[in-house]
Amino acid sequence: MSSSRAEIFGKIRQALVKPRPVHHHGHPPAPADLSQLFASAASRDGLVEKFRREFELVSGEFVFCDNNASIFEFLSQLIQSSTTTRIAVSRHPICQRLSIAKWLQDRMPGTSLLVEEIESENPYARERLRNAMAQVQLSITGAEYLIAESGTLVVAAGSQASRQISLLPSIHAVLATADQIYPNMADLFLEIQKKYGAKLPGSALTCITGPSRTADIEKVLIKGVHGPTRLITIMVG
Partner 1 sequence: MNLTPRLFKSYASRNVNNPRLRKTFRFATHHALEKRLQLVQEVPEWEALRDRAHQIKEEVIDHLDFYLEGLETHVTANGGKVFWARDGKEASDYIVKVARRIRAKTVVKSKSMTTEEIGLSRTLEENQLEPVETDLGEFIIQLAHEWPSHITAPALHKSRGEVGELFAEKLGIPYTDVPEELCEAARKLLRSKFLKAELGISGVNFALADTGTVVIVENEGNARLSTTMPRVHIAVMGLEKVIPSFNDLPVFLRLLARSSTGQKQTSYVSLISASRQPGELDGPEEFHLVILDNGRTEILKDPRMREALFCIRCGACLNTCPIYQRVGGHAYGSVYSGPIGAVITPLLQGVEVAKDLPYGSSLCGSCSGICPVKIDIHHMLLWLRQQVVAGRHTPWQERLAMKLFLAGMSDSALYRLGSGALRLAVRLGGAQGRPLKVPGWTQTRDFPPLAERSFKTLWKELEKTEAGRAHP
| Beta carbon nearer to partner 1, 73 or 127 | 127
- Pick the stretch among 43-51, 79-87, 103-111, 207-215 that binds partner 1 (CB under 8 A): 207-215
Contact call for residue 217 and partner 1 (CB under 8 A): yes
- Pick the stretch among 62-70, 73-81, 94-102, 187-195 that binds partner 1 (CB under 8 A): 187-195
Contact call for residue 178 and partner 1 (CB under 8 A): no
Minimum Å gap between C-beta 73 and partner 1 is 29
Contact call for residue 36 and partner 1 (CB under 8 A): yes
Q: What is the CA radius of gyration of the chain?
A: 22
One residue of 79, 186, 232, 236 binding partner 1 per CB under 8 A: 186
Contact call for residue 213 and partner 1 (CB under 8 A): yes
Minimum Å gap between C-beta 180 and partner 1 is 17
Contact call for residue 29 and partner 1 (CB under 8 A): yes
- Residue 174: name the closest of 132, 144, 146, 141 by CA: 141
The edge-to-edge listing of strands for the beta sheet with 181-182 is 152-156, 145-147, 181-182
CA 37 to chain centre: 24
Number of residues that bind partner 1 (CB under 8 A): 87
Q: What is the β-pairing status of strands 171-177 and 138-142?
A: parallel
What is the 8-class DSSP label of residue 108? S
Minimum Å gap between C-beta 101 and partner 1 is 14
Contact call for residue 209 and partner 1 (CB under 8 A): yes
Find the Cα–Cα–Cα–Cα dihedral 65, 210, 90, 154, rounded to 10°.
-90
Site for partner 1 in 83-122 (CB under 8 A): 115, 118, 120-121
Looking at residue 117, its amino acid is E
Looking at residue 103, its amino acid is W
Site for partner 1 in 40-59 (CB under 8 A): 40, 54, 58
- Residue 87: name the closest of 67, 104, 69, 74 by CA: 104
Contact call for residue 234 and partner 1 (CB under 8 A): no
**85 and 108 Cβ atoms separated by less than 8 Å:** yes
